[in-house]
Amino acid sequence: MITVIVGTNAHDSATKIIADIYIDKLKSLGVKHQLLQLKDMPTDILASDMYFNRKPSFVAFSEKYLEPTEKYIIVIPEYNGGIPGIFKLMMDASDIAKCWWGKKACLTGVAAGRSGNLRGLDTLTNYLNYLKVDVLKNKIPISRVHTLIEDGQLIDKDTIDILHVQLDDFLSF
Ligand SMILES: Cc1cc2nc3c(=O)[nH]c(=O)nc-3n(C[C@H](O)[C@H](O)[C@H](O)COP(=O)(O)O)c2cc1C
């Protein structure tokens, strides 16, 4: 199972529009997959005992989206020069052995600005490697994302093409 993660809980996010490119291609290839948007993460997650006494809502979330995943495609927006806190919160709340150890990941950064979340891609690679996740070397930073989108769709052919090549790499990774 491949899980495509929209790495923010923001509504109407550009990150979701990029994630849709992977979803469409996985669908057309008939590869088993699911979409995880962090806006669907349980909101009662936050409590001081969350690390060792997971709420039933988070356990159900984890059993649906994280534990059955073999490969993650993580589309991660740039928030204040790095990854959104909500994504790190999900990692910290999770059972790392069940959710991360021995899995694989493919990363794409999304930013309104120039850097395409390059710093966040490096940071997230380090976090994932620490959690025993192998990360595909082909990581794509998407800069000035709003100039590539029209009517809620990614319209830049070059970007679509490199995302497709990256996905081909990841399927054989
Ligand atoms: C809290 C917050 C912080 C942000 N910080 C940055 C930033 O440091 N650099 C940047 O290029 N864009 C920044 N942005 C803009 C996002 O990159 C932009 O919203 C982009 O569309 C990807 O995020 P989205 O999926 O929320 O739309 C920030 C957006 C938010 C909501």
The alpha carbon of 17 and the centre of ligand 1 are apart by a number of angstroms equal to 14
Q: Is 143 within 8 Å of 115 (Cβ atoms)?
A: yes
Give the binding-site residues of ligand 1, using a 6 Å CB cut-off. Answer: 8, 10, 13-15, 77-81, 110-113, 145
Question: 131-150, pLDDT tens digit by residue?
Answer: 999 999 999 999 999 999 99
Question: 79-109, pLDDT tens digit by residue?
Answer: 999 999 999 999 999 999 999 999 999 999 9
The alpha carbon of 36 and the centre of ligand 1 are apart by a number of angstroms equal to 19
The alpha carbon of 78 and the centre of ligand 1 are apart by a number of angstroms equal to 5
Q: Is the pTM of this model over 0.85?
A: yes
Average pLDDT of span 35-52 = 90
Q: How far apart are CA 159 and CA 93, in angstroms?
A: 33
> Which of 5, 18, 76, 78 for mutating ligand 1's site (highest number of atoms within 8 Å of CB)?
78
Q: For 59, how many CA atoms within 13 A lie in the half-sphere containing its CB?
A: 5
The alpha carbon of 173 and the centre of ligand 1 are apart by a number of angstroms equal to 30
Domain boundaries, the chain: 2-171
| pLDDT at residue 72, rounded to an integer | 98
Q: What is the residue with the minimal CA distance to atom 17 of ligand 1?
A: 111
> Which of 39, 74, 79 for mutating ligand 1's site (highest number of atoms within 8 Å of CB)?
79
Helix H or strand E encompassing 26 = helix 14-29
User: Span 2-171: which CATH code?
Assistant: 3.40.50.360
Picking from 17, 7, 35, the residue whose alpha carbon sits closest to that of residue 121 is: 7
| pLDDT at residue 110, rounded to an integer | 98
The alpha carbon of 111 and the centre of ligand 1 are apart by a number of angstroms equal to 6
Residues 6+ apart with CB under 8 A from 24: none
Mean pLDDT of the chain: 97
